[in-house]
Structure 1
Amino acid sequence: MGMRSRNETRWNVPFHHYASLEAFLAAPLQVGGNTFRHHGREIDVLIENRRAATTLVVFNGAIPLNVQYLPYFTGRGIAEDLGLNLIAVSDPVLAHRDMTVAWYLGDETTGPLRPILVPAIQHALEQLGADQTILFGASGGGFAAAHYAPYFPNCTALLVNPRLTLERRAQDKMATYLRLAHGLDSNGAMTSSVRGLLADFGPTDLAAVAQHGLNHDLLIYQNFFDSTFLQHHLLPFLRVAGAGPRCYVRFTHDGHGHVPIPPATIREILDVLASDRTAAVDAAGFSPASEVSNLTGQFLPEIAERLDSLGKENRRLGRERDALEVQQVKLQERVADLRSRSDALDDKIRVLNRRVEHLRTEPPLWRRMWHVVPRSFRERLQRFIRRKHA
């Protein structure tokens, strides 16, 4: 089992090292990388202070498997563009080389991460002194943002196409997490024993927590054509926890499947949320989740149009497929004809080869003619030749 290496220099900021979480909490805030040791593992928090009224706290989603180094931070570009303070948290469990997402839960080495990261983030927020806090994450990072948000009352949690449960459609990633983080070989199914193992690390289904009420604004941005996350994450979550007054949803169409949100869109949303404008949530395009049935109704004409378009495209592709199949049949017939003609030519070549071999082994013409001359004539000719040479 390999581990990722550390490389701090690639971030082009100073790194400040602390012997423990307690040492970090006792020290004045330092901008740049802040690394403290916890149970033998480095935990990294990147802090950028722009003296803004809003601080963006970013949890990364799944990272590419070929990422070789930690720490891994996201959110720097958008925070700089919008002039926001930034607290970017690197998930230390991603030190396991074969792991791409760990949801900021923790592992056997770190123990549960929430009791460690929450005070570290709170310390940074207090030192930055901003009026507003936005926790942000996409996909698996959205799970982490929603998980941590209750510990920052009155914050805004902005989730983009988020994973909202580890109970469904997570078996492959969960199997990897359980094997590397907890030494448990399983198929990734959420059994009672797995729930018991993870009980101290965090919830496996965020709806079970949110249904008791939210102490923060929860904003969920969902691509309507990301069918897996819509059907298995958002809609089940809303059925349980969507009636609360602080849960909001924005549906959109960014393409089919689990595709990233367009950078311009997330910048627009964060810019509005970070402003002092009243009704910023509504201005950012979010509506109360309790109106989700009405929201989905708004998309029905577009869905019908897209389905019709997909049907036309499918029929066009069907016609092309049929034409290709006809061409394939003709090509197969042509190949069969050429193969038959080739076999016939091979037969002729074999006959000619046998004839050539026969001609090569036949005696000369004079010898063949000698045998057809009458015997008496041959004997007289032989006596004549002997007398002539005598």
Structure 2
Amino acid sequence: MIARAVPEEGHHHIESPTAFGGPLPGPSTTYTVMLGDIPVDLRYDDRGSDTTIVFFHAAITKAVRRYPVFSGSTFSEDIDANRLFISDPSLYVDSRIRLGWYAGNVRQPNLQDALTEIIAKFDGPNRRLIFFGASGGGFASLYFSSRFPGSTAIPVNPQTAIGAYVPVIVNRYLNYAWGGSPITDLPVCTDVIDVYSRPVENSVLYVQNSGDGDHMDHHYSPFMGALPESQRVEPVLIDAGEGHVPPKRPVLTQILKDVVRT
């Protein structure tokens, strides 16, 4: 297993998703929820708000030196909402995995259901969930928001079908997370286009860099083209430059603030 570092103070070890009873008192707490023999690491910043933003990270880069990966804290620091950061546990399966879409692995084939069960502990009457993620984390934001009626997803340049992404990256995930199984054989959701082609009860603010031709052609357009009229999806096209690059952080901060205020 890849070396990981979790804080001693305010950290709680939970034996399973079912045993997790929800966040414990404290302004910032971390949790390790075991799923099989692999930890699912979370950080929760309780700001006393009725709104919680759930953050999913994108592919990790060589600059990442410490796991778990809790991404999004800097540009969301001034937003009036609780924050739940989730690190993709598939990163622990093999050091060659840099992106797992929070879709699971051969040792955690039920990860999507388990994370849904965990996130539900932060939901409740008179509470609101917002799911945020970019690229592979954007796929996760779309998927998990669809599991929570009344929630909002803010995907940024998301993959909407894992199999339509860069073949070498997809094959690396299939080889090292699933032992080489073809994507069509995985017991998980790998295509949110199919999910959103049917009625769901969440809302989506789909943020897409219009200069990202590959994602415009293979992820954005197929997703938008499959939506039924009843779907609450608002596209936000931003020219952030050529290629798979996100909008500037201040732009994302403002988008999050606007959604939290609505």
Shift of 1:209: 1.3
Shift of 1:171: 1.2
Shift of 1:45: 1.2
Higher relative CO (Cα under 8 Å, sequence separation at least 6) belongs to: 2
Residues 173 and 93 (structure 1 numbering): CA distance in 2 closer, same or farther, change over 3 Å?
same
**Residue 216 of structure 2 aligns to a residue in which SS?**
helix
**Residue 84 of structure 2 aligns to a residue in which SS?**
strand
Match of 2:180 in 1: 184
**Residue 225 of structure 1 aligns to a residue in which SS?**
coil
**Residue 133 of structure 1 aligns to a residue in which SS?**
strand
Match of 1:301 in 2: none
Q: How do 1:317-328 residues align onto structure 2 when only pairs under 5 Å count?
A: none
> What are the superposed Cα offsets for residues 138-189 of structure 1, whole Å, 9 maximum, x if unpaired?
111000111111211110001111111123233111111111111117xxxx
> What are the superposed Cα offsets for residues 12-31 of structure 1, whole Å, 9 maximum, x if unpaired?
86211122223222784664
Query: What is the distance in 2 between the residues matched to 1:53 and 1:248?
Result: 23
Match of 2:70 among 55, 70, 73: 73
Match of 1:216 among 191, 202, 208: 202
Match of 2:166 among 160, 166, 170: 170
Shift of 1:251: 1.0
Match of 1:201 in 2: 188
Query: What is the distance in 2 between the residues matched to 1:136 and 1:261?
Result: 14
Query: What is the distance in 2 between the residues matched to 1:251 and 1:274?
Result: 20
Shift of 1:78: 3.2
Match of 2:145 among 149, 164, 169: 149
Match of 1:5 in 2: 3
Query: What is the distance in 2 between the residues matched to 1:28 and 1:160?
Result: 31
Shift of 1:66: 4.8
Cα pair 1:223 1:252 within 8 Å, conserved: yes
Query: What is the distance in 1 between the residues matched to 2:37 and 2:165?
Result: 33
- How large is the RMSD of aligned CA atoms in angstroms? 2.0
Cα pair 2:132 2:141 within 8 Å, conserved: yes
Match of 1:138 in 2: 134
Q: How do 1:195-274 residues align onto structure 2 when only pairs under 5 Å count?
A: 195-196=184-185, 198=186, 200-202=187-189, 204-241=190-227, 243-274=229-260
Residues 273 and 257 (structure 1 numbering): CA distance in 2 closer, same or farther, change over 3 Å?
same
Residues 138 and 242 (structure 1 numbering): CA distance in 2 closer, same or farther, change over 3 Å?
farther
Q: Unpaired segments of 5 or more residues in structure 2?
A: none
**Residue 229 of structure 1 aligns to a residue in which SS?**
helix
Cα pair 1:68 1:97 within 8 Å, conserved: no
Match of 2:53 among 43, 53, 56: 56
Query: What is the distance in 2 between the residues matched to 1:58 and 1:27?
Result: 16
Q: How do 1:347-358 residues align onto structure 2 when only pairs under 5 Å count?
A: none
Cα pair 2:238 2:247 within 8 Å, conserved: no
**Residue 135 of structure 1 aligns to a residue in which SS?**
strand
Match of 1:121 in 2: 119
Q: How do 1:373-388 residues align onto structure 2 when only pairs under 5 Å count?
A: none
> What are the superposed Cα offsets for residues 47-85 of structure 1, whole Å, 9 maximum, x if unpaired?
110011321001111111453432111122233211310
Query: What is the distance in 2 between the residues matched to 1:275 and 1:85?
Result: 13
> What are the superposed Cα offsets for residues 75-121 of structure 1, whole Å, 9 maximum, x if unpaired?
22233211310111110001121111100011111222111111111
Match of 2:37 among 32, 37, 40: 40
TM-score by length of 2: 0.92
Cα pair 1:41 1:92 within 8 Å, conserved: yes
Shift of 1:46: 0.8
Cα pair 2:91 2:100 within 8 Å, conserved: yes
Cα pair 2:59 2:98 within 8 Å, conserved: yes
Residues 241 and 26 (structure 1 numbering): CA distance in 2 closer, same or farther, change over 3 Å?
closer
Residues 242 and 60 (structure 1 numbering): CA distance in 2 closer, same or farther, change over 3 Å?
farther
Instruction: Indicate the structure with greater helix content.
Output: 1
Query: What is the distance in 2 between the residues matched to 1:258 and 1:26?
Result: 36
Q: Unpaired segments of 5 or more residues in structure 1?
A: 186-192, 277-390
Query: What is the distance in 2 between the residues matched to 1:227 and 1:52?
Result: 38
Match of 1:380 in 2: none
TM-score by length of 1: 0.63
Q: How do 1:273-288 residues align onto structure 2 when only pairs under 5 Å count?
A: 273-276=259-262
**Residue 25 of structure 1 aligns to a residue in which SS?**
coil
Residues 266 and 130 (structure 1 numbering): CA distance in 2 closer, same or farther, change over 3 Å?
farther
Cα pair 1:105 1:113 within 8 Å, conserved: yes
Opposite residue 100 of structure 2, the aligned amino acid is A
Instruction: Indicate the structure with greater strand content.
Output: 2
Query: What is the distance in 1 between the residues matched to 2:23 and 2:55?
Result: 22
**Residue 42 of structure 1 aligns to a residue in which SS?**
strand
